[in-house]
Structure 1
């Protein structure tokens, strides 16, 4: 009788694990891949998202603590050329190779912050539009997700602050430095 109970418990545990795995919601980064976009168009730290598969309407929510104390945005520079700013809530519509009606993402051009309203994939290029102008970038620039505060240069900044420090400490040290 005890052997039957153990066997029944084992079967129930395996069935529960299978159901949990089958119904697991993909991450926001995995959802982007379903629409042919690389994960790096979103920074690290997406803690929740919604996606209406029939309309393509989506909302992505960033971890507010990743932005630093007292900040409601995720901001960083990329190779000293562009400064990007993500609000903690990003909305828009997604379809294969198209992100439209974007809200919550902006780029600094000269002295002005302009909203990025659309991203279109053309083969190995991503076209980012601010409405009146657009710029193309190679998709290889977006295979990795940037980090709030330091973009892709987190380890380099840490090495300047403390040679020999580990990458795990980089985020903590950098946030405190700003």
Structure 2
């Protein structure tokens, strides 16, 4: 009987250690870490993310404090991005598809994204009828909202 109790106690201790380690790992992982784990630059999301959820199958939901606008400058040209309070998509290695809540200003129109993908040192943003490419370095740091 003593051996069974010791075995149960050992199992309980191991289970609590594993649970504690898992909880600490989950708590330490930010959405910016998730982007990097999927081979995407952290600067695809602005600073100030309030919360995020990564669901089985890759559904990613991100909550910002409010609408967020920022510029990305490439070769002297500025591109204006607008993020809604809620942003979502399906994340896979090197891409996010079915993006919602993000728009890019092209001339005078705001166009939604269909997909963001990485191809080597480029980020390709598939818009409604075209694709806009940026160097990965343009998204190396998370921008601040204006």
TM-score of the aligned structures, taking structure 2 as reference length: 0.79
Partner of 2:4: none
Cα displacement (A) at 1:23: 4.5
CA distance in 2, matches of 1:19, 1:134: 39
Q: Distance in 1 between matches of 2:24 and 2:128?
A: 41
Task: State whether structure 2 residue 92 is matched by structure 1 residue 102.
Answer: no
Pairwise CA RMSD: 2.1
Number of residue equivalences: 127
What is the CA–CA distance in structure 1 between the aligned matches of 2:72 and 2:116, rounded to whole Å?
A: 18
Q: CA deviation at 1:141?
A: 1.1
Q: Secondary structure at the match of 1:60?
A: strand
Whether 2:33 is the aligned partner of 1:30: answer yes
Structure 2 unaligned spans of 5+: 1-16
The CA deviation at 1:16 is 9.6
Residue 139 of structure 2 corresponds to residue 142 of structure 1 = yes
Partner of 1:160: none
Cα distance in 1 for residues equivalent to 2:21 and 2:54: 24
Task: Compare the two structures and name the one with the higher helix fraction.
Answer: 1
Q: Structure 1 or 2: larger strand share?
A: 2
Q: TM (normalized to structure 1)? A: 0.65
**What is the CA deviation profile of residues 129-154 of structure 1, one whole-angstrom value per residue up to 9, with x for unaligned ones?**
103100111111111000000xxxxx
Q: In the alignment, which residue of structure 1 is the partner of 2:43? A: 40
Q: CA deviation at 1:19?
A: 6.4
- Structure 2 partner of 1:51: 54
More moved, 109-118 vs 23-32? 23-32
User: Relative contact order (C-alpha < 8 Å, sep 6+): which is higher?
Assistant: 2
Residue-by-residue CA offset, 1:47-76 (whole Å, 9 max, x unaligned): 100111x31111000123xxxxxxxx1012
What residue ranges of structure 1 are gaps of 5+ in the alignment?
1-13, 65-72, 150-178
